[in-house]
Amino acid sequence: MPHRPDTPNHCRRCGTCCRKGGPALHQADLTLLREKIILQEDLYTLRVGEPVHDQAAGRVIPLNAECVKIRSWNAAKTLLAQSEAGCRFYQPAPQTIPAKPTVHPNGRCAIHETKPIECAALKCWDTADLAEAAATPRLSRLDILGPDNALVELVHDHETRCSVADLVRHLQAPTSESADLLRQAAAYDAALRDLLQEKAGILPDHLPFLLGRPLPEVVHGLRRWLARG
């Protein structure tokens, strides 16, 4: 079949993939964190059980393993946890293009030469390499923090007391205690975030990586997912 002239067969640096949000990180990307090309404040964690869109399955399914992703900017340049806007490292084209060969009219990636493997594998005209990269082991918070990090115990405690599986159970089949238990989990989640900032000096931008999204956001997403059946 002849190649259609309007179908890309190479990267045109249009920025479409970058504007859709940041990639998930895999074991091969750990070097980028160790070399501080990507920092913890650039990340957020989707926890086990959170619903995500599975491109291969073509539907929304709950995660069976946690997924650490690069955060996103919204149009107002406010940093988001959700992939609702451009990747954290995507730099949109300036309104006036300076006379410099390094400035691309469609924008650029700030870490283009050392980008994560999903980005390196992405070809919009052929997704086979991306599917192969996406199938490799993903990074977890423990991989990034290291087993001797003092925060690991707090992360485990948060997972135990605010597990997504428990949230889903109380939302799907509520009991007389469910409302109170959901409130208690949300209160613990909020208190732990405050404690980490006040007592441990953890910056707010690190919390989406350490603890995932605030529990009210997770519950809101779960309600919407469950309502769709």
For 67-111, what is each residue's pLDDT tens digit? 999 998 654 344 444 444 689 898 877 655 454 444 445 668 889
| Residue 148 in this model has a pLDDT that exceeds 90 | yes
How high is the pLDDT of residue 76?
37
| Residue 142 in this model has a pLDDT that exceeds 70 | yes
> Can you tell me whether residue 91 is helix, strand or coil?
strand
The pair phi, psi for residue 57, each rounded to 5°, is -80, -20
- Residue 115 · residue 24 · CB < 8 Å: no
| Residue 25 in this model has a pLDDT that exceeds 60 | yes
Residue ranges of the domains in the chain?
16-141, 146-227
How high is the pLDDT of residue 108?
82
How high is the pLDDT of residue 6?
62
Beta bridge partners of 22: none
pTM confidence score: 0.85
